[in-house]
Chain A
């Protein structure tokens, strides 16, 4: 049981380049989330998908787009990367019901130069 898998683990981009971060879960969860983690700022919610076919903005959505491809997969796209998007990105999933635990991927460390 792999849980939540994120790819890639590391990435360096030049300013203006685009890329997609991939996330897949095999736990049959219906809700999925993308966060960024920056020192002193905790985890900030970028976008989430409460269920297949829906996506909503979180706290810091500017500069990002998402796609809920199917129940398993939730991708995050940076159309034109900026140095301010240098961060560690985490994907998470959970069962949309009371008090369920969110499971996290191992993170993607992105550097934009």
Chain B
């Protein structure tokens, strides 16, 4: 079975401050991990994805995430927040093949950026 836990349903940062959104996963098979962003009244857009090739993954808009197997974590960071980063962020996990083909999402973290 696979699951994702996102700590903090709401996170508020000041413009220019570090963004840290937390994601922990559970998977019975090697996981594939994703971060998606959702702007108001829109569908989801991929920010970045974990491939087994590198533990530090860089995505769009200056975001990156680090896969830590020992901590079962895949936290999302951005060094300096911008007003346009205000959105809801979702962590997701899937496995490859068979019953692990499900794509399971966390409950989301709403990021607010204060001027």
Residues in A whose Cβ lies below 8 Å from that of B70: none
The residue that A42 contacts in the complex, of B96, B102, B108, with Cβ under 8 A, is B108
CA distance A41 to B6 in the complex (A): 11
CA distance A31 to B46 in the complex (A): 17
Flag whether B115 is at the interface (Cβ < 8 A): no
Known: A48-B101, A99-B32. A42 touches B107 (CB 8 A): yes
A76 surroundings in chain B (CB, below 8 A)? none
- Say yes or no for A74: interface residue by CB 8 A criterion: no
Residues of chain A lying within 8 A (CB to CB) of residue B102: 45, 48, 56, 58
Whether, in the assembled complex, B90 has its beta carbon less than 8 Å from a beta carbon of chain A, the answer is: yes
Whether B17 sits at the interface, judged by CB under 8 Å, is: no
A102 interface residue per 8 A CB criterion? yes
Alpha-carbon distance between A41 and B106 when the two chains are bound, in angstroms:
8
In whole angstroms, how far apart are the Cα atoms of A45 and B103 in the complex?
A: 8
- Which residues does chain A contribute within 8 Å of B105, judged by CB atoms? 35, 42-45
Count residues of chain B with CB under 8 A from any CB of chain A. 24
Name the interface size band of chain A: 20 to 34
Once the chains are docked, how many angstroms separate the CA of A94 from the CA of B103?
Answer: 10
Residues A10-35 near B (CB distance < 8 A) = 31, 33, 35
CB of A40 within 8 A of CB of B46, answer no
Q: Which are the 7 A-B pairs with shortest beta-carbon distances?
A: A42-B107, A104-B43, A43-B105, A104-B44, A42-B108, A50-B101, A101-B46
Q: What is the interface of chain A, defined by CB distance below 8 A to chain B? A: 4, 31, 33, 35, 40-45, 48, 50, 56, 58-59, 90, 92, 94, 96-99, 101-102, 104-107
Can you report 25 A-B residue pairs in the complex whose CB atoms are below 8 A from each other? A4-B43, A33-B103, A40-B9, A41-B107, A42-B106, A43-B44, A43-B105, A45-B102, A45-B103, A45-B105, A50-B101, A56-B99, A56-B102, A90-B44, A92-B44, A98-B32, A99-B49, A99-B50, A101-B34, A101-B49, A102-B46, A102-B103, A104-B44, A105-B43, A107-B43
